[in-house]
Amino acid sequence: MELTTSPAVAIERRGAIAIITINNPERMNALSASVRDALRLAFEGFEDDRSVRAVVLRGSGNRAFASGGDISEFPRMDSAAARSNFEKLEALFAAIERLHLPVIAMIHGYALGGGCELALACDLRIAASDSKFGIPIGRLGHTLDLASARRLVRLIGAPKVKMLLWTDEIIDAGEARRVGLIDEVVSPDELESYTLSLASKIAEKAPLSIAGTKSVLAHVTKHPVARPGEDIAQFAAPLFETADFKEGVRAFLEKRKPTFVGQ
């Protein structure tokens, strides 16, 4: 087990799984400028690391996954500073979506505002049953950036987004699961074991297959309608020439467990 801790994030390695922990418990893991930038650097640091097969993102303690932006920083922001903050937050979210690895949000406690948006950028969201979700920005007087609005609308649809934002509604994990905001709900006692078991199951699969699926789904999300002349096999066909594909086929035919190397 390797553990690298900074004032803003902690990174732990458990075999092929990396666990990134938001390390701001005194402010309920608020996404301050230092936390935001440290998280982006942490995810970017895995772009060329082929020893990691899955990433789990969590908050320190049990009170919050991430409680949103650090509101104590807001009084110093004019529109130019706010624009820079939105762009830097989006750089973090884009780093998660761009990463070839599957990223699982392990959510315990509050996931609010930017913290909820952070979870949306992850590939999967597993939540403890006592978690709470919302984007209560109506009480603050601002609204979503376009990128986060698109993620929300893709997951739960525009009417539910309006309901959440216009009423400042905080919903529980069951409702979040019902509307499609999260993927699974488990008991608080089972959250860590369930999430790590899921990450381990994914990490056993062919890394190029996992990365390819992430790329395919990102592409069809961006381009939901087929374009003229589209190469429908642009992501799938090249994998047939990889060592992992050949190993997977041999293992299947030989009725044994495959050994993947990410090539």
pLDDT above 60: residue 8? yes
Side chain identity at residue 207, one-letter code = P
What is the C-alpha to C-alpha distance for residues 55 and 106, in angstroms, rounded to an integer?
10
CA 243 to chain CA centroid, Å, is 29
Name the band, by pLDDT with cuts 50, 70 and 90, for residue 5: low
What is the C-alpha to C-alpha distance for residues 108 and 173, in angstroms, rounded to an integer?
10
Task: Report helix, strand or coil for 189.
Answer: helix
CA 194 to chain CA centroid, Å, is 17
The residues with which 110 forms a beta bridge, in sequence order, are: 64, 132
Side chain identity at residue 193, one-letter code = S
What is the C-alpha to C-alpha distance for residues 209 and 221, in angstroms, rounded to an integer?
18
Instruction: Give pLDDT tens digits for 216-240.
Output: 898 888 888 888 888 888 888 888 9
Q: Which residue has the tokens 């390819």?
A: 212
pTM of the entire predicted model: 0.92
Instruction: Give pLDDT tens digits for 77-98.
Output: 788 988 888 899 999 999 999 9
pLDDT above 70: residue 140? yes
- Please answer whether residues 245 and 210 qualify as being in contact, where contact means their C-beta atoms are separated by less than 8 angstroms: no
Query: Other C-beta atoms within 10 Å of 162: how many?
Result: 11
At residue 3, the pLDDT reads 52
At residue 122, the pLDDT reads 97
